[in-house]
Structure 1
Amino acid sequence: MNNQVAIASLYDDKTGLRFSSNDITAFATTNVKEVNQLVVNNPQIKNLSENIENQTIITLRLNTVLIESFRTAPEVIDFH
């Protein structure tokens, strides 16, 4: 499985603010025990589905992000 992904948000009409990254690692959690542990550690996940234990949770770790807008110069944030 290739776990390298990219993401880009839509931009805000007024400010042009958006983010994008092609330096993201994806992790798929399918094991019921591991899904349940994620729900215990992050209870807000439970609000996404009444049947979360039988679903796959995909976690995205953003390593670097480009923040852009109409108002300021682009900024790279590095989480390494």
Structure 2
Amino acid sequence: MTSPDPRHLAQRMHEAFNTRDIAAADEIFAPDFYSHPLQGGVEAVKAAWTAMLTACPTAGPVRGTGRSTRPWSPGRDAA
């Protein structure tokens, strides 16, 4: 079994969020997915997406270019 292309998964996540297709998270994320920032799995992602869309119902689409606009460096975003 081959792993899915990460770029395709990112595009699918953007598409699902932009179209408010919260249920698509079940198809995008593996059943054993765990988000450390959200401290949960797929249900935590769906809850976060719902909270963001509820808080900002007129938010425009998320646009991923697949390219960073600035170079990454260790500790760049460290507090």
Structure 1 and Structure 2 fold alike (TM over 0.5): no
Q: Normalising TM by the smaller chain, what interval?
A: under 0.3
Larger radius of gyration: 1
So what's the TM-score if we normalise by structure 1? 0.28
Q: Which is helix-richer, 1 or 2?
A: 2
Q: Which is strand-richer, 1 or 2?
A: 1
